[in-house]
Amino acid sequence: MIKYPNGQTVSPHKSDIDYSRRGMSLENDINSSNNYYLETDKAVIHKKPTPITIVNVEYKSRATAKITEAYFQTPSTTDYNGVYRGRYLDFEAKETHSRTSMALSIIHPHQLRHLESCDRHGGISFLIVRFVAHDETYLVMASAFLAHLKNLEAKSVKYSWFQENGYLIPYNYSIPVDYLKVIDGIIDGGK
């Protein structure tokens, strides 16, 4: 069942939509999906490179530069953004092995602030969360997630909250995480 923002639920044909696990990491699955969207000219959504502080570079020749000392930075934005149907899309993807909840520690506070800003400026901001043990990948709108956090004392968000407030993302062979199907429902629902 896909829950759309207008409260309507849709039962897709089993033959069309599948939610079963494929064993790949969420990042790989999203990258494959984005490549498919790009190749079929459906959307332009990319993963941002990992931010790195470069300390030392060796220039062996004019053409080749070898980075010999660098460090990972804390990301100040989310990993993914792009354009679809004229809309700005921005999201972060996380997977958890817990059966019961997603620890908030896996999302940086400035990533949440970034999602909130993008939402305020008219973008479509969301999280993609995979519960590996349940073999389910949910899309949750940043606005709903952030509203939930405001009244939350726990340091994690329950699996049941995702079931109630998230949209289960369908799987298909070409598009392992077909999140634009959910986004279509959100845009058509009036967001």
Residues that bind a copy of itself (CB under 8 A): 38, 41, 43-44, 46, 48-52, 54, 64-73, 76-77, 81-88, 90, 114, 117-118, 120-123
Q: In the complex, what is the shortest distance from the CB of residue 15 to a copy of itself, in angstroms, rounded to a whole number?
A: 30
Residue placing its CB nearer to a copy of itself in the complex, 117 or 163: 117
Q: In the complex, what is the shortest distance from the CB of residue 19 to a copy of itself, in angstroms, rounded to a whole number?
A: 28
Rounded CA-CA distance 124/87 in Å is 7
Calculated CA dihedral for residues 35, 50, 179, 146, nearest 10 degrees: -170
Residue 95: strand pairing partners: 130
Q: In the complex, what is the shortest distance from the CB of residue 185 to a copy of itself, in angstroms, rounded to a whole number?
A: 19
Residue placing its CB nearer to a copy of itself in the complex, 52 or 149: 52
Residue placing its CB nearer to a copy of itself in the complex, 51 or 189: 51
Q: In the complex, what is the shortest distance from the CB of residue 55 to a copy of itself, in angstroms, rounded to a whole number?
A: 9
Q: In the complex, what is the shortest distance from the CB of residue 14 to a copy of itself, in angstroms, rounded to a whole number?
A: 31
Residue 170 CB partners (closer than 8 Å, separation 6+) = 2, 12, 17, 18, 19, 178, 181
Cβ(27)–Cβ(130) below 8 Å = no
What helix, strand, coil percent values describe the chain, rounded to 5?
30, 35, 35
Identify how many contiguous H helices and E strands the chain contains and give both numbers: 5, 12
Residue placing its CB nearer to a copy of itself in the complex, 16 or 39: 39
Residue placing its CB nearer to a copy of itself in the complex, 99 or 120: 120
Q: What is the DSSP letter of 145?
A: H
Residue placing its CB nearer to a copy of itself in the complex, 10 or 103: 103
Q: In the complex, what is the shortest distance from the CB of residue 178 to a copy of itself, in angstroms, rounded to a whole number?
A: 18
Rounded CA-CA distance 188/5 in Å is 9
3-state secondary structure of 181: helix
